[in-house]
Every structure is written in C-alpha cells, then in structure tokens.
Amino acid sequence: MAKHILLIIGGGIAAYKSLFLIRVLARRGIKSTVILTKGGSEFVTALSAGGLSGEKVYTDLFDLTAEAEMGHIELSRSADLVVVAPATADLMAKAAHGIANDLATTTLLATDKRTLYAPAMNVRMWDNPATQRNMKLLQKDGALFIGPDEGEMACGEFGHGRMAEPEAIADTIEKILKGDTTLDGLRGPKPLKGKKALITAGPTREPIDPVRYLSNHSSGKQGYAIAAALGRLGAEVTLVSGPVAIDPPACAKLVKVETARDMLAACEAAMPADIFVSVAAVADWRTDGCAEIKIKKGKSGIPALKLVENPDILASIATAENRPELVIGFAAETNDVIKHAKAKLSKKQCDWIVANDVSGDVMGGDHNSLIVVTKGGEEVFPKLTKTDAARRLAEKIAAELT
C-alpha cells in the first residue's frame, strides 16, 4: 500500500520548500495530505499545496465541511507519519506543552503516529533556551527532528535555523517509513548510549545435505526492527542473523550465520553485552550429521532423518558467567500464550519473555501483538506494526536500564 504522510506546513519563509517536499515525496510514491496553518498560508497558498499533493488541503479546525469529510481526530490518525515542516518556534512550543488551539496543534496532540519536525527559524530563536527546552520535551515524548541546517538565513543572519533541504527530509521520511531507525542526522534522546546490545534474529538453517536444509518461516523483521530501535536509542548493537531477505539497519554490526551452533558461537564472540534480545527462531533440532554429498532418491528408499537437539542460545547466554544485565527471550506460541511464556521465563532464566501469538499471520507479516511477561507481571502491547512494537520494547528496555 502506498505510504502516506500528514504534512503540517507552519508559518515561515521555508514553507515554499515544503511545496518541493510534496513533489519529491510524490516522485518516491509517498502521498502527502497537507494541513496549512494560518501562518503558513501567509507564505504559500492552499491552492498550490493542494495542486501539488492532489489532495484537499486542511486549514481550519472549525470547518464543518471538512469535519464531515474527515474529522480532525481521524485526520491525525490517517497517515503513517506526521511531518511538521517548517516547524516554527511557536508550533514547537505549543506541541511541547499540549496546547491545541488550531487544526495543526490539535492534530499534533491527537495523533498516535510518530512525528518528525523540520525546524526553521531565526538563529537566535533557535538558540533561545525556551526553544531548546521545547525540542528536548518533544524528543522526550518520542518526536524526531531533522535539522535545522547551518547557513545564511532569509533574515540575513548566519547560523543554525535553515530548514533541512526537501531531498534530505524525504530521505529521512523514507527511512522512517521503512522502519530504518538509524536516522542519520536526526536528533533524538540516546538513553542507551554506552550500552551494548546483542540481538539474534531470523531463522537458522540446519543442513541435511549440501542442497537441503531444515528451517522455518521467520522473516527476521521483528528482530531487525528491535536492533534498529535499540540503535536509535544510542545502544551499540550487534545483530546476529540467520538467512533473511531484508536489509539490516545501518546502525547495527551484522554477523551472518546459518546454523544454531554458528549463532551460539557468534553470540559468545560478541559478548560481553548489557542487553541480550533473543528474537531468532532457532531450529530446535538439526540432523545428526550433514551428508557430504547430495542424498539420491531411489536406492535405499526414503531416508530417515535422525535429529539431535540444538543448543539453546537464550538459556546459554542467560546462564553465562558474564550474563548481560537484561536478558530477553521471545516465545512464539499458538496457544496458552501467557502460560507458556511464564514457563519459559523460569526455564530459560531470562528477565523478560516477550510472548507473541503466532497462530495468525505474524511470521513474515508486518504486525505483531506482543505481551511482555516479567517476574513482576505482564504488559500487553496493542497490535502494532513490527517497527512500532520494536520502538515500544526498546523504550521499555531503556526505562529499565536508566
């Protein structure tokens, strides 16, 4: 499905760049719905924004026609990402304090989506402690920032205050929408700075002969998203991954493995770590030896596979001498999810088990419904995209360790 952003154009001279942004995004297949603030409409017109986006432009909170078509709450939830560009000092201040006195600020307060701010203002306004304080408050609430860039400004002064260029904002939007949370150039809180995180992801492959193997349907999406989310919060991430078809987050050091035994060796080599998240769908069994040449049909009938148990990577790391401070396992279950998760928590001696019900289309799909089972109780996450679930888990990890 085509991706879709909600673009709030604030009142600044940089508003004209946001018109370019709409075009750049459209060329990349990303649709923009525009909210034009009163200030924004002093710089660009709803007609030009609407012409470029091919969509109705929303301007007024109390526009009954617009409310009938799409209420402001619905508008705030309709997109995959909310982008504020240019983000003025005024918009940032209002959003930071939950003031909602027009359509843009009401939408920012009502949205359940990530928000990316591209600030643009005079350098003194940007440097003012009030603006810096507001940025930090917004970041603390999970908002992302790109820019402002340094350079000459429309007012003639020089310094930080120019809105990031549309291509750069579009690159960042694409990264966010793809779930890549490395987000170079973005400011954000880094509560896990100085912490090392080790993540396993994807399936393992256990060879039968040189051309055949035993494996499972794991796509690696959830593990990769967790690696990215921890990296975004400042952790130094090693991602030990079985064979998958997705790109690794740029922030992680990727170690590619095939078998469960390789995965365990790679994890041990990557220790010590402060956080271990065992997301991999490790094959529980491997064949008792891999045939050196391809097993041929016919001669001796159907071959019987003798299986032996693979090492339990999670249990090994959880009981290692240099055990990470926080050890998190996953429990893929199709029934009695919490009961099984609790049993795994004690059996594998980990601190949390993240239970997920894989009875539906979770494996390979883009959504997950997670329940974090800890010794103290359970936290149920709503059904979220794997990226959002990863972000929420990473934030919980950060809260635990800081």
Q: Which residues make up the interface to ligand CTP (CB under 6 A)?
A: 200, 260, 278, 280, 282, 284, 310, 312-314, 329-332, 344
CB of 200 to ligand CTP, least distance (A): 6
Single-letter amino acid code for the residue at 340: H
The Cα-based distances of 31 to 5, 119, 195, 283 in angstroms read 6, 21, 38, 41
For tokens 């940025």, name the residue. Answer: 135
**104 vs 201 by CB, closer to ligand CTP:** 201
d(CA 323, CA 272): 8
**22 vs 198 by CB, closer to ligand CTP:** 198
Count of CB atoms situated within 10 Å of the CB of 158: 12
CA dihedral 132, 138, 139, 143 (to 10 degrees): -130
DSSP states of 198-264: EEEESB--EEEETTEEE-----SHHHHHHHHHHHHTT-EEEEEE-S-SSPPPTTEEEEE--SHHHHH
**76 vs 278 by CB, closer to ligand CTP:** 278
Q: Please identify every residue annotated as catalytic.
A: 155
**145 vs 330 by CB, closer to ligand CTP:** 330
**43 vs 224 by CB, closer to ligand CTP:** 224
**31 vs 344 by CB, closer to ligand CTP:** 344
**H-helix or E-strand spanning residue 309:** strand 307-309
CB of 319 to ligand CTP, least distance (A): 12
CB of 131 to ligand CTP, least distance (A): 44
The Cα-based distances of 40 to 125, 156, 212 in angstroms read 18, 21, 61
Question: Which residues is 400 bridged to in the sheet?
Answer: none
Nearest Cα to 356, choosing from 375, 382, 326, 323?
A: 382
CB of 400 to ligand CTP, least distance (A): 17
Contact 351, 327 (CB under 8 A): yes
CB of 222 to ligand CTP, least distance (A): 11
CB of 401 to ligand CTP, least distance (A): 19
**238 vs 278 by CB, closer to ligand CTP:** 278
For tokens 């001796």, name the residue. Answer: 300
Three-state DSSP state, 333: strand
CB of 215 to ligand CTP, least distance (A): 13
CB of 327 to ligand CTP, least distance (A): 10
Helix axes 103-110, 89-96, angle to 10 degrees: 40
**172 vs 200 by CB, closer to ligand CTP:** 200
For tokens 């997670």, name the residue. Answer: 370
Kindly state the greatest CA–CA separation across the chain: 85
Distance separating the N- and C-terminal Cα atoms of the chain: 38
d(CA 151, CA 344): 56
Rg (CA), the chain: 25
